[in-house]
Amino acid sequence: MNPSTQASELTPREFTRWIWRQLTSMRTALFLLLLLAVAAVPGSLVPQRGVDARTVQAFFQDHPTLAPALDALGMFSVYSSPWFSAIYLLLMLSLVGCIVPRISVYARALRARPPRAPRNFSRLPGSGTFTTTASVDEVMAAGRRALVRTRVDVVQTDAGAELRAEKGYLRELGNLVFHVSILVVLVGVAIGALWSYRGAAMVTEGDGFSNTLSQYDEFNSGPLYDSDALPPFGLLVDRMIAEFQPEGPQRGAPKRFQANVTYTENPGDKPQRYEISVNSPLSLDGGDVFLIGQGYAPVIRVTDAEGEIVFDDAVIFLPQDGSYLSEGVIKVPDAAPEQLGFQGFFMPTAVSAGDDAPTRTVYPGAVNPVIGLRMWTGDLGLDDGTPQSVYTLQKDQMTEVLDDNGEPLNISLSPGQSQTLPGGGTIEFVDLRRFARLQIADVPAKSLPLAGVSVGLIGLMASLMVRPRRTWIKATTRNDGTGARLTSVSVGVLDRVPRDETPIDLESFLTDLQETLATLDTSKENPT
């Protein structure tokens, strides 16, 4: 190839301009929007740390090989991962680059007048002619009357007059509104992700919660949120109400969840009462308190071999299924001579089918509550300063207690019952309380995505329903040979969005135009 015919290399400025044009094309924006939707799929399939950290921990335990690989790819924090953020930012940049030039083009189109008529109407998708005795001015007046909600210009020509009309400007406006709304939604979601916080806490009846970081069981915040600036509200769970369907095909289904709380929005404020239910959160300045679950917290009292009460508190047992079969751990670090640990389950309505059949729970309400525990002695691992979950029992330095037959010791208690422990001491099921699982969250600009979606739907409907069309009417006068003057009328129609019904619409328009001219002729013949 002759070197003189080869294309020259792009300069850095030209290459940057080419990259910008590719990024800001509508094709790229649609591709990035599709890519964002695909990238969000793992967030629905894989548990997310920002939603349920305990489920993520359980996933690591169940899949010790797969979980680290997924974690390295950011699958447990999809929406805050670098690759998801990169797609998000590129989409926003692409939309801005698409919208801004189109707004200037649309502004010029609004100021522009309808274009002049083409010379040959027969090349248009729809055209027609007819002859009338009305004058050119009357034809123009009838055209104005027939073209309602249309921008119209009438231009005088050497042979007669030409009417130029155009409508459908709202279609492009609706299209722009739709794309701007997408950008508004993205901005709103980004603001919420960057400056929001969400946490969960389980609070037992009679206990309180202060909105400080140490009070949360789970806490996640956006990268720009200052966790030291949490709003200083506090609340006390007076009572947790949970009702279930007692009979019928929906037996055991949740019927009513409600947490009666007393709260103060700021230190020193007068306490106020509120009933938090599933669809009625407590809204405070800087956060909303939602009721997202409940469960049982048996009150357990443990005495050691010396007769001292070394544990007396409500213990949260975490529900495992819809029947509220729950698991829990009791840690007694103050017991002597060795620390004690208990792990087991709680059944709200325990039923046994026979001596050899295992006991099971058949109803989530506390009709026949029973606790089943096993016991360990040794070192709980709390003294070395390493943090550990209150819902797990570390057994590395502990020994399971056996009964006289050499089998693991089984402890079964109902409310009010106690059992003597091997080596001395007792464990007692004192009372049964409930706990409320609360979610505290604050998402700034949360109404912005909703407004964007609502306005975007209106813009989308406008872009789909409005039909832009250009219409031209030419009127010229001629002599019919008998001395009478006739007016030849030519009509052309061009739809800027092609559709099959153009000829049918043209016939209807010609009929309306001729009827309007006939009305004008009648009014001339019968003046009032």
User: In this predicted structure, what is the pLDDT of residue 353?
Assistant: 66
Least confident interval from 140-154, 319-333, 335-349, 501-515: 501-515
DSSP state of 359: P
SS3 content of the chain, % helix, strand, coil (to 5): 35, 35, 35
Q: How confident is the model at residue 4 (pLDDT cuts 50, 70, 90)?
A: low
pLDDT one-digit tens code per residue, 65-93: 998 999 898 898 888 888 998 998 999 89
Tell me the pLDDT band of 49, cut-offs 50, 70 and 90: confident
pLDDT digits (tens, 9 = 90+) for 292-318: 989 999 999 999 888 889 999 999 999
> Which of 173, 416, 176, 175 lies closest to 298 in space, CA to CA?
416
Please give the pLDDT value at position 522.
Answer: 59
Residue 31 CB contacts under 8 Å (≥ 6 apart), including other chains: none
Task: Give the model confidence (pLDDT) of 180-227 as tens digits.
Answer: 998 999 899 889 888 888 889 999 999 999 999 989 988 888 888 888
pLDDT in tens, 90-132: 998 998 988 888 899 899 988 989 999 898 888 888 899 988 8
Looking at residue 527, its pLDDT comes to: 56
DSSP code per residue over 178-247:
HHHHHHHHHHHHHHHHHH-EEEEEEEETT-EEESSGGG-SEEEE-TT--GGG----EEEEEEEEEEE--S
Q: Which two tokens stand for residue 94?
A: 């692409």
Please say whether the dihedral angle defined by the alpha carbons of residues 377, 427, 333 and 434, taken in this order, is positive or negative: positive
Report pLDDT for 44. 85
The CATH number for 114-167+469-525, chosen from 1.10.150, 1.10.357, 3.30.310, 1.10.10, is 3.30.310
Per-residue model confidence (pLDDT) at position 331: 93
pLDDT band (50, 70, 90) for residue 526? low
Tell me how far apart the alpha carbons of residues 473 and 493 are, in angstroms, rounded to a whole number: 9
pTM here is 0.71
Share of the chain above pLDDT 90, in %: 39
CA-based end-to-end distance of the chain: 85
Residue 525's pLDDT is 55
> 300-309, 363-372, 464-473, 474-483: which range is least confident on average?
474-483
**Span 319-343, mean pLDDT?**
90
pLDDT at 136 over 80: yes
Which residues neighbour 182 within 8 Å (Cβ) at sequence distance 6 or greater? 33, 95, 452, 456
The predicted-structure confidence for 413-432, as pLDDT tens digits, reads as follows: 999 999 999 888 899 999 99
**Stretch 260-287: mean pLDDT:** 92
pLDDT at 504: 75
**Spatial contact of 319 and 252, defined as CB atoms under 8 Å apart:** no
Residues 6+ apart with CB under 8 A from 442: 196, 197, 198, 231, 286, 287, 288
Q: Report the sign of the C-alpha dihedral through residues 276, 278, 283, 286, in that order.
A: positive
| Domain locations in the chain as residue ranges | 11-108, 114-167+469-525, 197-442
